[in-house]
Amino acid sequence: MTWTLTSETGRLTDVLLCRPDHYRWIPTNAIARATLAAGRPMDRAALAAEYAELEDALRGAGVACHYLTPDPGLPYQVYTRDSSQVAPGGPVLTMLAMPQRRGEVAGVLDFYGWPMWKAAVRGTLEGGDIHLIRPGLAAVGCSGGRTSAEGAEEFAGWLRELGWEVAVVPFDDHFLHLDVIFSMAAPGLALVCPDALPDDFLSWLGARQIRTIPVGYRAAMADMACNVLALGQGRVLSPRHSRETNARLRAEGLTVLDPELRLFAHGGGSAHCLTMPLNRDAD
């Protein structure tokens, strides 16, 4: 199967997941380090129940779920957003920054096969920093911690060759990935953490008729409130504990599917991080 993707908001038909059989918190980001420092317990039965809620929400929305094979040595493989990116030309093999995650390439290649459309070779590139805002318009985050300037520009260049407009967005690597502080909830509507994003990027969004819902720093980091998955057709998947953000999304007329994802948020990821869209219908 050749997968292609041109937006973050069209009706989601297929998604790539990885079950959390070997998931545990590891100190690879500020959120996970805070969780470990606080001595939070990992309840594996609760973790499995949370993931089952995510799967049920996706299947209930008519999304076909595809899976990577979990590897015991890859505790963060569950965050499938980072290890590949489906793009307008097909799947892209990213270049993960953390040594603890680089082995994820094996499962990605097993799933997609080879050759893929593109493979990152300049610097580092992770899918959580890539946002296909709408057909022809994209943003690529560049913190230097996960996606480097070279990696962001390489991916942006591939899209520009197809005629896309792409913003490369610098931000502090404290925030891990761009999808911790920015994500599309519906066509023309984004969640943003204004204090963490450059003013010129916020202005860039506004000039392109992208409305924004502001999310505060604590909600963005502790609750992963920006980290949502647009399902299309007026629906969005957002964690249950993000009550204030979910209320704002509902006030926009969106249907919010809200599985419990608290244990995954404690590791630095939520609905957006746990899913790599493989195909969407046109907006």
Q: What is the CATH number of the domain that holds 44?
A: 3.75.10.10
* Whole-number pLDDT of residue 282: 86
Is residue 272 in a domain? yes
* Whole-number pLDDT of residue 1: 73
pTM over 0.95: yes
How many structural domains is the chain composed of?
1
Residue 192 near residue 203, CB atoms below 8 Å: no
* Whole-number pLDDT of residue 245: 98
Task: Kindly report, residue by residue over 61-83, the tens digit of the pLDDT.
Answer: 999 999 999 999 999 999 999 99
* Whole-number pLDDT of residue 4: 97
* Whole-number pLDDT of residue 264: 97
Is residue 1 in a domain? no
Is residue 245 in a domain? yes
- With b for 16 or more beta-carbon neighbours within 10 A and e for fewer, the 113-142 pattern comes to eeebbbbbeebbbbbbbbbbbbeebbbbbb
- Residue 140, strand partner residues: 130, 168
* Whole-number pLDDT of residue 281: 95
Residue showing tokens 């949502």 = 228
Is residue 6 in a domain? no
Structural domain boundaries enclosing 268: 13-280
* Whole-number pLDDT of residue 283: 74
Name residues of the chain where pLDDT drops below 50: none
